[in-house]
Structure 1
């Protein structure tokens, strides 16, 4: 995966458990600043090792940790160096998810060798979205679910995300939502 993802995981661990917990994680799995370079592409096994160790420290399963990190990522990206890209991607849930591929295209141009997923909104009705997710990576559906929940929160909505169908490197998500202020 990418250094920016590693930096996001670091931030989540530090926010929830403190700086010492992150330092202990680094020591246990043998990583340091060179694994946190934002624009670098790293082997997925390193990212999964970081997520797994973070999960253990947070008393979560790896799947739960992926989900929580997905939710966290939206807030993290919104306040960091990706803030302007996040703002330009969409001003509501439907437009944001519809424009994810454009966001990933700009990220991909800055990071040669990246393998970014594709998202396709196949059905959009008031309060409901059906989204196809395609990736060269396997096992990230919980992360994507967390991302969708994070986006629901970003736009002041309440909702639910379900995986309607799942196959290797592909999934169909159903997102039901309503205004959180009503």
Structure 2
């Protein structure tokens, strides 16, 4: 599903020839990308690295864009109902996201979802710790959080506080409501 999303997003933003060039450079010129196949993470990381080269885009910027667009992609694809029952606002959605991922694991046994620890520090500030087996996706997660803020019409700034080199988590974010 992730590779299908990346291909669709890049094709929409930069054109189908750019996506074909990215697949070629990544070493997957004939990769049949579908939503149900569980691809090795290395393929996804190879596609992102090739996209950065072909598009001459910094990796963090591309990952943030993809994270932000991931929300609308999944909310409009097969997960519309799941989004609706997970939460009606940003905070409640984030508090239920781990349960949503657990239910998806039942449907997709190979899924390795991240885990989020969510703590409301004040009415305007939410601390989010992101745990994952996958490293190097803090920028994607920051974009994802920003995309969720937009999806729920929650005017907020998402700041990366710390990347997990010296901690148990992969990254920590502060989501601050804008006045």
Gap regions ≥5 residues in structure 2: none
1:175 matches 2:143: no
What is the rounded CA distance, in whole Å, between the counterparts of 2:124 and 2:54 in structure 1? Answer: 36
Q: State the alpha-carbon separation in 1 of the partners of residues 89 and 25 from structure 2.
A: 41
* Structure 1 runs (4+) greater than 6 angstroms displaced: none
1:165 is matched with: 162
The CA deviation at 1:25 is 2.1
Kept after mapping to 2: 8 A contact 1:66/1:143: yes
Q: Any stretches of 5+ residues in structure 1 without a counterpart? A: none
Local SS of the residue matching 1:152? helix
CA distance in 2, matches of 1:19, 1:82: 25
1:72 counterpart SS class = helix
Instruction: Kindly state the Cα deviation for residue 58 of structure 1 after the two structures are TM-superposed.
Output: 3.3
**Which of the numbers 142, 150, 172 marks the counterpart of 1:153?**
150
Alignment of 1:12-161 (within 5 A): 12-31=9-28, 32-34=30-32, 36-161=33-158
**In the aligned structure 2, how far is the partner of 1:9 from the partner of 1:28?**
15
Deviates more, 1:5-14 or 1:40-49: 40-49
Instruction: Please tell me whether the aligned partners of residues 157 and 178 of structure 2 are also in contact (alpha carbons under 8 angstroms).
Output: no
Q: For residue 155 of structure 2, give the secondary structure of its aligned residue in structure 1.
A: strand
CA distance in 1: counterparts of 2:66 and 2:40, whole angstroms: 18
Q: What's the offset of the Cα at 1:158?
A: 2.2
**Alpha-carbon separation, structure 2, partners of 1:28 and 1:171:** 30
Give the TM-score normalised by structure 1: 0.87
- What CA distance in whole angstroms lies between the structure 2 residues aligned with 1:136 and 1:85? 24
Say which of 6, 12, 27 aligns to 1:9. 6
Greater percentage in strand: 1
Distance 1:110 1:33, change over 3 A: farther
Post-superposition shift, 1:28? 2.8
* Contact 1:39–1:110 (8 Å) recurs in 2: no
